[in-house]
Structure 1
Amino acid sequence: MLIGTPTEFGAALERRRRELSLTQDDVASAIGVNRRVIGELERGKGSVRIEIALAVAQAVGLDVDLSART
């Protein structure tokens, strides 16, 4: 899936989290952050640190792949 905005990234994380029947608290506990941070990320808040965004993606089993546009 092609992600172009923080909102799309957050929505993809939320969809996957729900597919796995995980709560925001579950994911937050798994990576050691407050649940509020997960909510902000899922709503597309652009100020969430990249290392947290990548950790959430990993926690819900998503790979982040950067590739050159052709």
Structure 2
Amino acid sequence: MKINSVLELGNLIKQRRHELNITQADAAEICNVGKRFFSELENGKETIQFDKALYVAKMMGIDLFAENRK
């Protein structure tokens, strides 16, 4: 899946959280981030901390890749 925005990343994380059948509060605790941060990430806040967003994705079992366009 190609991610073009923070909102798309947030939706992917939200989808994964639903697959795991856990609440935002539980996911935030598992990822060791605040519930507010987790909510803002899922809702696509554009000023989200990128390093924390990458960490949350990793903790939720999502691998992100980057590649050069052809």
Q: Return the TM-score normalized by structure 1.
A: 0.91
Residues of 1 paired with 2:43 and 2:4: CA distance? Answer: 14
Question: What residue identity is the alignment partner of 2:48?
Answer: V
Q: How far has the Cα of 1:46 moved from its partner?
A: 1.4
Q: How far has the Cα of 1:17 moved from its partner?
A: 0.9
Identity among equivalent positions (%) equals 37
Query: What is the 5 A alignment of 1:1-70?
Result: 1-70=1-70
Q: Return the TM-score normalized by structure 2.
A: 0.91
Question: What residue identity is the alignment partner of 1:38?
Answer: F
| Gapped regions of structure 1 (runs ≥ 5) | none
Structure 1 runs of 4+ aligned residues shifted over 4 Å read none
Q: How far has the Cα of 1:36 moved from its partner?
A: 0.9
* DSSP 3-state at the match of 1:13: helix
RMSD: 1.0
| Gapped regions of structure 2 (runs ≥ 5) | none
- Count of paired positions: 70
